[in-house]
Structure 1
Amino acid sequence: MRTIKLLSVLILFLLTSCSSVRVNSDYDKKVDFSTYKTYAFYKTGIDKVEISDLDKKRILRSIDEEMTAKGFTKSETPDMLINFTTKAEKNINVNQFYAGYGYGWGFGWNPYWGGNYNVSTNTEGTLIIDLIDANKKELIWQGEGVGYLTKNTDKKDENIKCFVTSILAQYPPVKK
Structure 2
Amino acid sequence: MKIPALILVLISCLMLNACTSKPKSDYDIEYDFSQLKSFETFSPSQTDDPLSSSRIEDSIAVALTKQGFVMAQQQPDFKITYSFKVEDKPKESGLSIGLGTGTWGSSGGVSVGTSVGVPIGSDTARIQTIQIDIINPQTNKLIWRGTDKFNFDAGGEEKLSATQVTVTKILSQFPPQKQ
TM norm. shorter chain > 0.5: yes
Looking at structure 1, the residues matched to 36 and 30 of structure 2 have their Cα atoms a distance apart, in angstroms, of 14
Map 1:28-107 → 2, pairs under 5 A: 28-43=28-43, 46-48=44-46, 50-76=47-73, 77-93=75-91, 95=93
Match of residue 155, structure 1, among 155, 158, 166: 158
> CA contact under 8 A between 1:150 and 1:159: conserved in structure 2?
no
Tell me the percent identity: 28
Match of residue 175, structure 2, among 156, 172, 175: 172
Structure 1 spans left out of the alignment, 5+ residues: 1-15, 98-115
Equivalent residue pairs, number: 139
Change (3 A) 1:153 1:32: same
Change (3 A) 1:93 1:57: closer
Query: Post-superposition shift, 1:55?
Result: 1.7
Change (3 A) 1:86 1:71: same
Q: Secondary structure at the match of 1:71?
A: coil
Query: Post-superposition shift, 1:125?
Result: 1.6
Q: Structure 2: which amino acid aligns with 1:59?
A: I
Match of residue 131, structure 1, among 129, 134, 146: 134
Looking at structure 2, the residues matched to 156 and 56 of structure 1 have their Cα atoms a distance apart, in angstroms, of 12
Looking at structure 2, the residues matched to 92 and 38 of structure 1 have their Cα atoms a distance apart, in angstroms, of 41
Q: Secondary structure at the match of 1:22?
A: coil
Which residue matches 1:22?
Answer: 22
Query: Post-superposition shift, 1:94?
Result: 5.9
1:144 aligns with 2:147: yes
Looking at structure 1, the residues matched to 50 and 25 of structure 2 have their Cα atoms a distance apart, in angstroms, of 26
Q: Secondary structure at the match of 1:47?
A: coil
